[in-house]
Chain A
Amino acid sequence: ETGVTQSPTHLIKTRGQQVTLRCSSQSGHNTVSWYQQALGQGPQFIFQYYREEENGRGNFPPRFSGLQFPNYSSELNVNALELDDSALYLCASSGQGVGETQYFGPGTRLLVL
């Protein structure tokens, strides 16, 4: 069984640029959630995708957007990067049932200069 994978592992961008992060969900999972984790903090929910539709969103501005594909993989896009966007971006996959456990990928470390 393949776990959650993310790419790239590290990324350096400059302020104002755009970035796309990718996630492949674990086999058998149809839901993908994205989280942002600042240094020394717990992960914060960005949004979730189920059946290619956004299924809930946290307190993040519209410049954070996403996609889910028919194979349940997902992308996170961030436009007009700001210095505060520097963080570890985590993808988690799960089933859609009540109380389903979310399994996390290794994360993408984004640094905005």
Chain B
Amino acid sequence: EDQVTQSPEALRLQEGESSSLNCSYTVSGLRGLFWYRQDPGKGPEFLFTLYSAGEEKEKERLKATLTKKESFLHITAPKPEDSATYLCAVQAGTGRRALTFGSGTRLQVQP
């Protein structure tokens, strides 16, 4: 069974204080690992897709990396508007295209 575990559950940072979020996964044949951002009461907003170990992607203050067992979302010099829940999901090498999500990391950036 595919599993995704995110840590920490919650993270409080000061503005400008860089940190990393972790996503550990167990999946039979990874087709893709996805990062989303979700604001309270809203749908997840797509950030990145990673397909193979060693791959990295960047967008503004965010950088996502992937190994064979985990992914990291690095946040550099965060701002209060980066406060949100960050979700990690995997798509397995089985017939269906379902995403298996972790429970997310709730990030709060204080000014």
- Cβ distance A29 to chain B, nearest Cβ, rounded Å: 12
Within the assembled complex, what's the spacing in Å between the Cα atoms of A57 and B94?
A: 12
B45 proximity list for chain A (CB < 8 A): 104
* B98 and A94 within 8 A (CB): no
Cα-based distance from A57 to B103 in the complex (angstroms): 20
Provide the residues of chain B in CB contact with A42, threshold 8 Å: 4, 87, 89, 101-104
What distance in Å separates the Cβ of B31 from its nearest Cβ neighbour in chain A?
A: 5
Given contacts A98-B31, A106-B42, contact A33 B99 (CB under 8 A): yes
A61 interface hit (Cβ, 8 Å) = no
Q: Which residue of chain A has the shortest Cβ distance to B45 in the bound complex?
A: A104
How far in angstroms is the closest Cβ of chain A from B41?
A: 7
B residues near A88, Cβ cutoff 8 Å: 41
Give the residue name and chain of the A residue nearest to B50 (CB): A99
Q: Are B103 and A90 in contact (CB under 8 A)?
A: no
Per-position binary interface string of chain B over residues 89-109, scored 1 when its CB falls under 8 Å from any chain A CB and 0 otherwise: 101000111111111100000
- Whether the Cβ atoms of B101 and A43 lie closer than 8 Å is yes
The distance from the CB of B64 to the nearest CB of chain A, in whole angstroms, is 13
**In the complex, A101 Cα to B96 Cα: how many Å?**
14
Q: What chain B residues lie within 8 Å of A33 (beta carbons)?
A: 97-99
Which one of A31, A42, A43, A107 has the greatest number of beta carbons of chain B within 10 Å? A42
Q: Are A45 and B98 in contact (CB under 8 A)?
A: yes
- Neighbouring A residues of B41 by C-beta, 8 Å: 88, 107, 109
Minimum CB–CB distance for A41 against chain B, Å = 6
B positions within 8 Å CB-CB of A = 4, 31-32, 34, 36, 41-46, 49, 51, 87, 89, 91, 95-104
A-B contact pairs, 12 of them (CB 8 A): A6-B43, A43-B44, A48-B97, A56-B95, A58-B98, A99-B31, A99-B32, A99-B49, A99-B91, A102-B46, A107-B41, A107-B43
